[in-house]
A = this chain, B = another copy of it.
Amino acid sequence: MHQRSAHRSLLVVGSVAYDDIDGPFGFHKNLLGGSASFIARAASYFTKNVAIVGVVGDDFEQHHLDELAALGVDVSGVEHATGETFHWTGKYSADLSSRETLDTKLGVFGSFAPKVQDKHRDAQLVLLGNIDPPLQMDVLNQVRAPALVAMDTMNLWIDIKRKELEAVISKVHTLMVNDEEARQLAQEHNLRTAATKILAMGPTSVIIKRGDAGALLFHADGVFAAPAMPLSDVKDPTGAGDSFAGGLMGYLAYAGDLSPKTIRTAMVMGSVMGSFAVEKFSVDGLRDLTAARIQKRFDEISSLVEFDRVQL
């Protein structure tokens, strides 16, 4: 990939976890998971200026972090705490269209207080992965003047910490959620109306991730629909949204500007990385990608929506 000198720095705060996943392809234990794991790996294909803040327990295998470091990710902000690594157990339906959480062990994440090192406080792009809203706010208070702060969240926080969550939402530029979360947050089924309601909470843009229906961006420049690649071979949807976010933010760091035009392309790069992620378990779909393979998938997604702008 062509390297530009103007790469912006990307700071990612999120979970580094182990996942146990049951589903149509069997039961897989102790898979590397967590939002930061997917985000940083996806972003690393676009920029070497990525740092993560997170926490792992003393059961965590160091080679996972070594791998990220080898991809150019700054993992110095990952704390090593005494106790167990955050561990999620989930089960997918036979057709992979839905999942249920069977168990969540917070482990060292339960007492996590994210600390942004001084060298990362001037990050230009900040991605607050899906963690407890007060922790997201803590991070916001530690960074200086980011050009773009994006955040993710989930149904749990909308349910039990709406006030704290809304406080964070009011301070970020971009909220990225899936369709059900957008509906729940806005208390509105219609996605366009839900987006309007979310924008009224403060962010300048909202991105609604819709899985195999693509992703929608609503902002002052209008609406953009990033297509999703129709895939015949989907193994594990875990991390698709985080890989999308990583591709998007990584591309923004790479491109070095935040114009509406660049953001549209970044959305498609998000869709590209999400499509790779679901083809294998854990972060395996994001391993060993090349600029050529990323470009090929980008071109395939581009051709999906290629048509003549006719005049009647």
Contacts and interface: CB of A to CB of B under 8 A. Distances in A.
Nearest to A213: B213
How many of these chains are in the complex? 2
A44 to B, nearest CB: 14
Nearest to A95: B189
A310 B210 CA distance: 24
16 contacts: A191-B212, A195-B230, A210-B213, A214-B225, A223-B230, A223-B304, A227-B227, A227-B305, A261-B307, A261-B308, A265-B308, A267-B307, A291-B312, A294-B312, A298-B312, A305-B305
Contact of A192 (B191, B227, B230, B310): B230
B232 A305 contact: no
A190 B306 CA distance: 23
Nearest to A295: B312
A5 interface: no
A1 interface: yes
Interface in A139-164: none
Interface string A186-199: 00011111011000
| Nearest 3 interchain pairs by C-beta | A213-B213, A95-B189, A264-B307
Contact of A264 (B97, B213, B308): B308
Interface string A221-246: 01111010011101000000000000
Given A223-B230, A224-B305, A302-B309, 4 more contacts: A1-B312, A95-B190, A224-B306, A294-B312
A190 B225 contact: no
A189 B310 contact: no
Contacts of A311: 2, 295
Nearest to A222: B303
A268 interface: yes
Contacts of A225: 214, 227, 230, 304-305
A32 interface: no
Interface string A266-296: 0110000000000000000000000100110
Contacts of A295: 311-312
B265 A307 contact: yes
A96 B308 CA distance: 32
A306 B264 contact: yes
Nearest to A307: B264
A224 to B, nearest CB: 6
A216 interface: yes
